[in-house]
Amino acid sequence: MGIFDKGVQKTKRGFFERLSRAVVGKSKVDDDTLDAIEEALIATDMGVDTTLKIIDSLQERVSRDRYVSFDELVDILRDEIASLLDVSDDSHQSGDALPFDFSKKPYVVMVVGVNGVGKTTTIGKLASRLRAEGKKVVLGAADTFRAAAVDQLVIWSERAGVDIVKQAMGSDPASVAYDAVKSAVARDADVVLIDTAGRLHNRIDLMNELTKIRNVMRKVVPDAPHEVLLVLDGSTGQNAFQQAKEFSRATDVTSLAVTKLDGTAKGGVVIGIVDQFRIPIKFIGIGEGIDDLKVFDRKEFVNSLFSREDLGKKDK
């Protein structure tokens, strides 16, 4: 079983069951079949716009060919989804290599996302992975509005064996971020991970707070942050779309981490968000274990979504 199979199992099973019902007993793909395929795609929470984009491409292909078998249909869908996920040059990645530019030292990552999506856990797992690969890491506990967030990050820092910079509850988040980046420079660290407040409050407040954090970090590292990583809970479906929209308006989100994919049949949200916001996914969470945060590989993800060995042989 591939590393992404666990993460897409529920989505894949529901999707293929609907897809099979749509084409069973048919010698060609007609309008009714396309409607059923559309419903199957929307059921994965891919989103209407992305679904219609796929259906339009499928219609164009079907209009050229009088007969499209089940396997051909799957191949068309596979190709379409793979192309939708291709929004960045990932040629620098090899295998499960961490997609960070370590030539920038320290590489500053500002992590954003609402409470409850697994943001702090994602930071902890990233820190553990980086430390295991010999990187020196500093965490910045800039979510100063929740004691639980700071306490959780402290536990992760101890577990991962990395340094953490924190201040008293209610402190200015920008001040914590400034101290964290300054500490990272002094300690010759490779990476700084800044945890920010997970409140989807007034968007202007959110924008001002994130802008202030960005500006103070630049007093230490002029091009910081090198990355703004938005963490989304894949199991929330359309709510994840809304969160991506709000944070993209508030700050320049450059990459995504999607958590809890293994617990949902709505994994299509991954495809829809990438397509609609043109932001690449760098990590996906497929379990609770410390090693269950994986570097996202779009080709492997699509192959896992469309592999049918465990679903039984489908009739053409």
The reported pLDDT for the residue numbered 37 is 84
Q: How would you list the strands of the sheet with 227-233, edge to edge? A: 163-165, 137-141, 191-195, 107-112, 227-233, 255-259, 281-285, 293-295
Q: Per-residue pLDDT tens for 109-122?
A: 999 999 888 899 99
The reported pLDDT for the residue numbered 94 is 43
The reported pLDDT for the residue numbered 10 is 62
The reported pLDDT for the residue numbered 313 is 41
* Common-topology check for domains 5-88+304-311 and 107-297: no
Distance CA 9, CA 265 (A): 8
- pLDDT tops 50 at residue 9: yes
Question: If 0-12 CB within 10 Å is exposed, 13-18 middle and 19+ buried, where does residue 172 land?
Answer: middle
Angle 70-84/298-306 helices, nearest 10 degrees? Answer: 160
Structure-model confidence comparison of residues 140 and 89, the more confident one: 140
Angle of CA points 128, 133, 139, to nearest 5°: 40
Q: What confidence tier does 315 reach under pLDDT thresholds 50, 70, 90?
A: very low
Q: Which of 10-24, 40-54, 58-72, 97-111 has the lowest mean pLDDT?
A: 10-24
Q: What confidence tier does 224 reach under pLDDT thresholds 50, 70, 90?
A: very high
- pLDDT tops 90 at residue 124: yes
**What is the torsion angle, in degrees rounded to the nearest 10, for the CA atoms of residue 190, residue 277, residue 252 and residue 191?**
-10
- pTM listed for this prediction: 0.86
Query: At the top level of CATH, which class does the domain 5-88+304-311 belong to?
Result: mainly alpha
**CATH code reported for the domain at 107-297:** 3.40.50.300
Structure-model confidence comparison of residues 251 and 4, the more confident one: 251
Structure-model confidence comparison of residues 6 and 110, the more confident one: 110
| pLDDT, the chain, mean | 83
Q: What confidence tier does 174 reach under pLDDT thresholds 50, 70, 90?
A: very high
Sketch the domain layout of the chain as residue ranges: 5-88+304-311, 107-297
The reported pLDDT for the residue numbered 25 is 65
